């Protein structure tokens, strides 16, 4: 249920409503917009129906939220959410680029990549310290050593660090060394992991599951938000279909659909979406044109020797040309990179 407050509602009135409803066992989320403040009341709807909410001082109207994902819904929060990470924002005019190797392989390579992407104006470096691999016999990541390399890159370059969390037992460690926690596609419905991440004040990139519907994707975001963490960035990375020409089928229609349904920022990972480096730049261009708030791509100085996903990794010159092209498209639609 959404409780829309009057423009002149006072802090005392808001506090009174919150205290009253929380006393009934409901969870109240406050969303302050430019023109209105709304309260989202989450809990047993029967309790809400029995309350004369419109009689409360400061209340203008009460609107039911029809979507099962309450906090993630644009019904609850009509304005776009902007997530600021050390001065770089997702959800506003600027389109952010997140770039780096699939896996952190060694310190020297990571520092070299960081230098190259910073020259292109990129603010985020990605790299997996823990790698969810289909085969248990392939490279699984450097773990804590990889996290320390990422932290060193942040210290030396000022780049924000994005890395994947696979196990709740590693949460404290990943939290310490990174700026943004990534939840991979295979863990999109790992509800225990989502719940644990929701209890921390750290931005989360949530990737769409291999076979997840848009509704299921948003419900996973709701798990994180229901525990208090509202800094969720949705990431389309392709879904599994009958098509075998690409690694996955990159569902770019998900970008405008999500923009209609949720106030959260939406980014696209074309690298995992197509699985072939030659297709990454065209799909990055298309993602920007579709309205994405960010692009996440994998790059590597020597893809043929990469320990993970070399076939979809861009060489540095190709990455720089991609940046040139998506800047042009961003400018054409009134945005910037």
Which stretch of DSSP H or E encloses residue 108?
Answer: helix 107-119
- Domain 2-63 CATH (choose: 2.40.128.280, 3.30.1330.40, 1.20.1260.10, 3.30.70.1140): 3.30.70.1140
Which stretch of DSSP H or E encloses residue 60?
Answer: strand 59-63
Q: What pTM did the predictor assign?
A: 0.89
pLDDT tens profile 6-32:
888 888 988 998 888 888 888 888 877
Buried b vs exposed e over 3-29: b needs ≥16 C-beta within 10 Å? bebeeebeeebbeebbeebeeeebebb
Q: What is the residue extent of each domain of the chain?
A: 2-63, 83-332
Q: pLDDT exceeding 90 applies to what percent of the chain?
A: 68
For the residues 319-336, what does the mean pLDDT come to?
Answer: 98
Q: What is the pLDDT of residue 130?
A: 81
- Domain 83-332 CATH (choose: 3.40.309.10, 3.20.20.70, 1.10.357.10, 3.20.20.80): 3.20.20.70
Q: pLDDT-based confidence at 327, cuts 50/70/90?
A: very high
Whether 2-63 shares its CATH topology with 83-332 is answered no
For the residues 70-92, what does the mean pLDDT come to?
Answer: 93
Write out the E strands in 127-272: 160-164, 180-183, 204-207, 232-236, 266-268
Residue 42 contacts residue 71 (beta carbons within 8 Å): yes
Q: What is the mean pLDDT of the chain?
A: 92
For the residues 237-265, what does the mean pLDDT come to?
Answer: 96
Q: What is the pLDDT of residue 132?
A: 63
Q: Is 167 exposed, middle or buried (0-12, 13-18, 19+ CB in 10 A)?
A: middle
Q: What is the pLDDT of residue 243?
A: 94
Q: pLDDT-based confidence at 56, cuts 50/70/90?
A: confident
Q: What is the pLDDT of residue 239?
A: 97
Give the Å distances, CA to CA, from 155 to 149, 152, 159. Answer: 10, 5, 8
First to last CA, the chain: 38
């Amino acid at each position: 249920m959404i409780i829309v407050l009057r423009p002149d509602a006072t802090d005392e009135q808001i506090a009174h409503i919150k205290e009253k409803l929380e006393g009934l066992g409901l969870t109240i989320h406050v969303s302050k917009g430019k023109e209105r403040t709304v309260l989202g009341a989450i809990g047993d709807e029967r309790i809400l129906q029995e309350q004369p909410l419109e009689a409360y001082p400061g209340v203008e109207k009460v609107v039911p939220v029809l979507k099962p994902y309450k906090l993630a819904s644009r019904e609850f929060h009509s304005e776009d959410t902007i997530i600021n990470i050390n001065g770089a924002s997702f959800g506003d005019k600027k389109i952010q680029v997140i770039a780096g190797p699939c896996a952190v392989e060694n310190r020297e390579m990571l520092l070299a990549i960081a230098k190259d992407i910073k020259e292109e104006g990129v603010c985020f470096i990605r790299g997996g310290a823990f790698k969810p691999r289909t085969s248990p016999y392939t490279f699984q990541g450097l773990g804590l050593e990889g996290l320390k390399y990422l932290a060193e890159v942040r210290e030396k370059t000022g780049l924000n660090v994005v890395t994947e969390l696979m196990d709740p037992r590693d949460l404290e460690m990943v939290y310490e060394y990174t700026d943004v926690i990534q939840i991979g596609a295979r863990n999109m419905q790992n509800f225990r992991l989502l719940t644990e991440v929701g209890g921390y004040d750290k931005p989360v990139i949530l990737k769409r599951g291999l076979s997840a519907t848009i509704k299921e994707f948003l419900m996973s975001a709701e798990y994180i938000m229901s525990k208090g963490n509202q800094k969720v960035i949705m990431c389309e990375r392709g879904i599994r279909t009958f098509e075998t020409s690409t690694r996955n089928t990159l569902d770019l229609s998900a970008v405008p659909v999500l923009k209609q349904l949720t106030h959260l920022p939406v980014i696209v990972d074309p690298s995992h979406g197509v699985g072939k480096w030659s297709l990454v730049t065209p799909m990055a261009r298309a993602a920007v044109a579709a309205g994405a708030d960010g692009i996440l791509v994998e790059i590597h100085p020597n893809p043929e020797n990469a320990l993970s996903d070399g076939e979809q990794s861009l060489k540095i010159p190709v990455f720089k040309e991609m940046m040139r092209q998506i800047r042009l498209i961003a400018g054409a639609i009134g945005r910037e990179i």
